[in-house]
Amino acid sequence: MRRNTFYIILGLVILFEVGVFWWAVETHNALLMQLAFLLGVVVIYLARGRVEEIIEDERTGLITQKASLRTLQVFWVVFFAVNLGVAVIGLGPPGFPRRPPQPPATDTLLPFHMLGQFAIIQLVLLGLMILLYVGFRIFYARKFGEWDSDEEQS
């Protein structure tokens, strides 16, 4: 399989996932979305293994390794700092910070109707993590000559 064919399959899988997400929200079927996502990951993994051109070697491995490590370090520190602040507020004395009267506390830590918002916040954070990774990947790819050109390049 050529590399471009792989990218076409990747695009089709993304379209499929968006469609299934819409359908799953309409039908209120969480399992459908989760299974579709896992299926998409498997399809992409299998398709990637069939690309005949060499797209990975020790240099790309090094770029991936460095970008992943930096992403994990930065994301962990920022994520921990944000949640540390929220934990301090949550565990602090009542009335600080000042806020409007709250409804009586429920038994659960997070009301069920807020789970969707909680999930969206997490999805946004995971999206930001990907952006961070892409940024680091571009940095290290440039450092290790990914976009250098010479007289052989057409």
Partner 1 sequence: MKNKVKVFRAMHDLTQEQLADKLGVTRQTILAIEKGKYDPSLDLAFRIARHFTVSIEEVFLWEEPPKSP
Q: Nearest approach, Cβ of 148 to partner 1 (angstroms)?
A: 6
Q: Nearest approach, Cβ of 61 to partner 1 (angstroms)?
A: 10
How far apart (Å, rounded) are the C-alpha atoms in residues 75 and 73? 6
CA distances from 137 to 16, 28, 57, 81 (A): 27, 37, 15, 24
x-marked contacts with partner 1 along 37-56 as a string, rule CB under 8 A: -----------------xxx
For 96, other C-beta atoms within 10 Å of its C-beta total 8
Cβ-Cβ contacts under 8 Å for 20 (sequence gap 6 or more): 32, 33, 36
Tell me: does residue 152 bind partner 1 (CB under 8 A): yes
The tokens for 84 are: 């540390």
Residues binding partner 1: number (CB under 8 A): 16
x-marked contacts with partner 1 along 54-93 as a string, rule CB under 8 A: xxxxxxx-x-------------------------------
For 120-145, letters b (16+ CB in 10 Å) and e give eeeeeeeeebeebbeebbeebbeeee
Stretch that binds partner 1, among 64-72, 100-108, 127-135, 140-148 (CB under 8 A): 140-148
Residue nearer to partner 1 on the CB measure, 50 or 142: 142
Q: Which residues bind partner 1 (CB under 8 A)?
A: 54-60, 62, 143-146, 148-150, 152
